[in-house]
Amino acid sequence: MLLFTYLILYFLLVFVLRSILLWRKTGINSLTFKKTDNAHDYNGKVFIFITIFELVVVGIYAFKNEWYEYLLPIWYLENPFLQKIGWTLLVISLIVVWISQSQMANSWRIGIDENNKTKLVTNGMFSISRNPIFLGIMIANIGLFLVIPNTFTLLITSLSTLSMNTQIRLEEEFLKREFGNEYIQYAEKVRRWI
């Protein structure tokens, strides 16, 4: 139950609340994915699928314990020490994502915004990683897997990793077009992940 509550709070804080704050401040919708079939919008559909899939898996763990065996637990990873590491990573993830979103301020979006001009953020967390929000989400995925190690949380982590890496490359191409040499010089100094 605690894990499910945490996951709901995580989504509410880093996606819903952040989107509302941006909307109130700028009038801009942070969600940029549309219903086309291009790579960017398709990847948005993959993000939504992974999120729903994650909620279902954690919901089964929290509310239907008798079904948990169908998630194919990896029993040799089920121990209190790894669970504590997992919970620590989940908390670190929330902190990293929240700080990174705060540092992006009005430039934060969910996806690529080709309609509203933003500024290139290179300070704070972005001086350590070009993608600290995705890094934070990756940390959360690993944490989730350690808290409830099963085949489906491993699949969520794998799908999320592929989807994030695709999104990062799409965003990099956009940022090169949008900011040109400024982004290229930044990318030469700061690594993609860490």
Looking at the chain, the whole-number percentage of residues with pLDDT higher than 70 is: 100
Read off the pLDDT of residues 62-117 as tens digits, 9 standing for 90 and up: 999 899 999 999 999 999 999 999 999 999 999 999 999 999 999 999 999 999 99
Q: How far apart are CA 4 and CA 56, in angstroms?
A: 10
Given a contact cutoff of 8 angstroms between Cβ atoms, the answer to whether 143 and 88 are in contact is yes
Structural domains of the chain in order of their starting residue, each with its CATH number: 2-27+36-189 (1.20.120.1630)
**Long-range contacts of 187-191, Cβ-Cβ distance < 8 Å, separation of 24 or more:** 187/130, 190/122, 190/126, 190/127, 190/128, 190/129, 190/130, 191/129, 191/130
Model confidence band, residue 171 (pLDDT cutoffs 50, 70, 90) = very high
Say what the pLDDT of residue 115 is. 92
CA angle 89, 31, 189 (to 5 degrees): 60
Q: Confidence band (pLDDT; 50, 70, 90) for 178?
A: very high
For range 124-146, the mean pLDDT: 98
pLDDT at position 168, please? Answer: 97
What is the predicted pLDDT for the residue at 54? Answer: 97
Mean pLDDT score across all residues of the chain = 96
